Amino acid sequence: MFKANPDYLKLRGSYLFSTVANKQKAFQAANPDKKIIRLSIGDVTQPLAPVIIDALHKAVDEMAVAETFHGYAPDLGYEFLRKAAAENDYRARGCDIADDEIFISDGAKGDCGNIQEIFAKDCKVAVCDPVYPVYVDTNVMAGRTGVFDEASETWSDVIYMPCTAENNFMPEIPAETPDIIYLCFPNNPTGGVITKDALQGWVDYANKVGAVIIYDAAYEAYISEDNIPHSIYECEGARTCAIEIHSFSKNAGFTGVRLGYTVIPKDLKCGDVQLHSLWARRHGTKYNGAPYIIQKAGEAVYSAEGKKQLAEQVAYYMKNAAYISNGLKEAGYEVYGGVNAPYIWLKTPDNMTSWEFFDKLLEQANVVGTPGSGFGPSGEHYFRLTAFGSYENTVEAIDRIKKM
Ligand X SMILES: Cc1ncc(COP(=O)(O)O)c(C=O)c1O
> Which residues in 37-66 contact ligand X (CB under 6 A)?
42
What's the min distance (Å) between Cβ of 119 and ligand X? 18
Determine which residue in the list 40, 190, 255, 373 makes contact with ligand X, applying CB under 6 A.
Answer: 255
Of residues 20, 112, 51, the one with CA closest to residue 386? 20
Determine which residue in the list 200, 249, 295, 348 makes contact with ligand X, applying CB under 6 A.
Answer: 249
If the CB atoms of residues 102 and 365 are measured against ligand X, the closer one turns out to be: 102
Count how many Cα atoms sit within 13 Å of the Cα of residue 331 in the half-sphere of its side chain. Answer: 20
Biggest CA pair distance of the chain: 66
What's the min distance (Å) between Cβ of 107 and ligand X? 3
Of residues 383, 287, 308, the one with CA closest to residue 40? 383
If the CB atoms of residues 58 and 230 are measured against ligand X, the closer one turns out to be: 230
The CA-atom distances, in angstroms, between 190 and each of 94, 107, 383 are 28, 21, 9
Determine which residue in the list 82, 83, 109, 381 makes contact with ligand X, applying CB under 6 A.
Answer: 109
Distance CA 309, CA 280 (A): 33
Of residues 219, 197, 274, the one with CA closest to residue 243? 274
> Which residues in 113-142 contact ligand X (CB under 6 A)?
132
What's the min distance (Å) between Cβ of 329 and ligand X? 24
> Contact region for ligand X (CB under 6 A) — 23-31, 68-76, 80-88, 106-114?
106-114
Determine which residue in the list 104, 218, 257, 268 makes contact with ligand X, applying CB under 6 A.
Answer: 218
> Which residues in 163-192 contact ligand X (CB under 6 A)?
184, 188
If the CB atoms of residues 127 and 365 are measured against ligand X, the closer one turns out to be: 127
Distance CA 160, CA 137 (A): 14
- Judged by CB under 6 A, does residue 247 bind ligand X? yes
Residue 184: alpha-carbon gap to chain centroid:
7
> Contact region for ligand X (CB under 6 A) — 48-56, 103-111, 163-171, 229-237?
103-111
Percentages helix, strand, coil for the chain (3-state, rounded to 5) are: 45, 15, 40
Q: Is 134 exposed, middle or buried (CB count within 10 Å of its CB: 0-12, 13-18, 19+)? A: middle
For the chain, the first-to-last Cα distance in angstroms comes to 56
Distance CA 200, CA 44 (A): 31
What's the min distance (Å) between Cβ of 378 and ligand X? 16
If the CB atoms of residues 249 and 309 are measured against ligand X, the closer one turns out to be: 249
Quick one: DSSP state of residue 89? I
> Contact region for ligand X (CB under 6 A) — 12-20, 84-92, 101-109, 381-389?
101-109
> Which residues in 258-297 contact ligand X (CB under 6 A)?
260
- Identify the three-state secondary structure at position 347: strand
Residue 132: alpha-carbon gap to chain centroid:
7
If the CB atoms of residues 256 and 332 are measured against ligand X, the closer one turns out to be: 256
The contacts of residue 76 (CB under 8 Å, 6+ apart) are: 82, 100, 102, 103, 104, 280, 283, 284, 289
Of residues 364, 402, 379, 375, the one with CA closest to residue 394? 402
Neighbouring CB atoms inside 10 A of 156's CB total 10
365 has which bridge partners? none
If the CB atoms of residues 249 and 325 are measured against ligand X, the closer one turns out to be: 249
If the CB atoms of residues 171 and 260 are measured against ligand X, the closer one turns out to be: 260
What's the min distance (Å) between Cβ of 252 and ligand X? 10
> Contact region for ligand X (CB under 6 A) — 58-66, 104-112, 136-144, 305-313?
104-112
Number of residues that bind ligand X (CB under 6 A): 14
> Contact region for ligand X (CB under 6 A) — 77-85, 247-255, 270-278, 366-374?
247-255
What's the min distance (Å) between Cβ of 48 and ligand X? 14
What's the min distance (Å) between Cβ of 218 and ligand X? 4
Please report, as ranges, the residues that interact with ligand X according to CB under 6 A: 42, 107-109, 112, 132, 184, 188, 216, 218, 247, 249, 255, 260
